[in-house]
A and B are shown apart, each in its own frame.
Chain A
């Protein structure tokens, strides 16, 4: 089998050709898949918003707000009914304290701060353990686990192991703590940024 000689020119040429064609192919595929990827991301966000908010007519412009004293900024998606009254607020929140790092989720609040729904968007938790958080905290048949309809400001919003009112997932206390922490962060951010000066921030759905 005759391979090319190891001359300098041959090596440079071979490397150049290989990388050149790879780059061309990747550019081509990137162009084709760009639109579907964006669409897929939009779809997840949109279906998340629909499932965690009360029925709404229009969505206000989303706003990124860094909470006072907080670390990462939260993203707020206000939702209005047809007479432009705020019916709910979705907050995109996250925590880095999950068992395997980052957990990203979206929490929907009613105007008074009651949790309407949540949806975990991204996580690396253990399947069968921490990953159960996607459904555990909205199980209506177990009122002590369920956080839907509860208000983080009115009850002791920590896991039962820490003396709180929410049942943690069996064998996944770390994930449960992180989860509740992220929800609470969203609640605090919502309350401090919007509830205090409701009028100035929320007038007119379409900003």
Chain B
């Protein structure tokens, strides 16, 4: 398979958030600001790349009947590694992402890629796939977070752009996440057809 296509499919064509609609829980939950979205996306991307890599290495040594538990253990280990590192080196990001970091374990993007891709392809393609999907996810979360932060509190990546007095509070709250997600999906669909 063409590796560039393999990598770039995660951004628009098979974007996990806007096209596959996977991992909606962290998508809607943490994207109250661009930084949160970026942090969450990168954490997930790391887990995706590492778990894709390890799973495609060990895929032939694991009997079919127990492959799901094995994959989950591998994924959970990497999530815990990420969690510990964030707690140690980026405590404020760790605080603001809170419960959503351990929940990367059950993010269906990670297990979905392991099942659909890494268990059938070689190590290199799997890493590329994980990287593309992870960065695609990061891009969507950052975009969503930036729009919500800008409309809701007048900030962009923490910098005040206009007075938060005029911010539309709704966009920081859960309904705003759905509205922004809906419009972004419409835009992405348009781009795909073009």
Contact = CB atoms under 8 A, between A and B. Distances in A.
B63 A18 contact: no
Contact of B87 (A37, A43, A122, A127): A37
A18 B73 contact: yes
Contacts of B64: 3, 6
30 contacts: A3-B59, A3-B62, A5-B63, A6-B65, A7-B63, A14-B61, A14-B62, A15-B66, A18-B62, A22-B73, A22-B76, A22-B77, A25-B81, A26-B77, A26-B80, A29-B80, A29-B84, A30-B84, A33-B84, A33-B88, A37-B88, A40-B88, A41-B91, A44-B91, A122-B95, A126-B172, A126-B173, A128-B32, A128-B172, A129-B173
A155 interface: no
B169 interface: yes
A29 B73 contact: no
Interface in A113-142: 122, 124, 126-129
A133 B32 CA distance: 17
Interface string B30-48: 0011000000000000000
A2 B60 contact: yes
Interface in B133-175: 152-153, 164, 167, 169, 172-173
B182 interface: no
A11 interface: yes
> Which 3 A-B residue pairings sit nearest by Cβ, starting from the closest?
A36-B88, A128-B172, A22-B77
Q: Is the interface of A mostly helix, strand, loop or mixed?
A: helix
Nearest to B153: A128
A206 interface: no
Given A14-B70, A19-B73, A128-B169, A33 B61 contact: no
A4 interface: yes
Contacts of B25: none
Interface residues of A, number: 33
A30 B172 CA distance: 35
A196 interface: no
Contacts of A17: 61
Contact of A128 (B66, B89, B91, B167): B167
A11 B65 contact: yes
B152 A128 contact: yes
Interface in B67-96: 67, 69-70, 73-74, 76-77, 80-81, 84-85, 87-89, 91, 95
Given A40-B91, A128-B153, A1 B120 contact: yes
Q: Which of A1, A2, A33, A122 counts the most B-chain CB atoms under 10 A from its CB? A: A33
Interface residues of B, number: 36
Contact of B70 (A7, A18, A33, A44): A18
Interface string A34-48: 001100110110000
A105 to B, nearest CB: 13
B170 to A, nearest CB: 10
A10 interface: yes
Nearest to B174: A126
A122 B73 CA distance: 30
A193 B66 CA distance: 58
B24 interface: no
Interface in A34-74: 36-37, 40-41, 43-44
A88 to B, nearest CB: 26
Given A11-B65, A22-B73, A4 B60 contact: yes
B106 interface: no
Given A25-B81, A26-B80, A43-B91, 8 more contacts: A1-B60, A6-B64, A14-B63, A14-B66, A14-B70, A18-B62, A33-B88, A129-B172
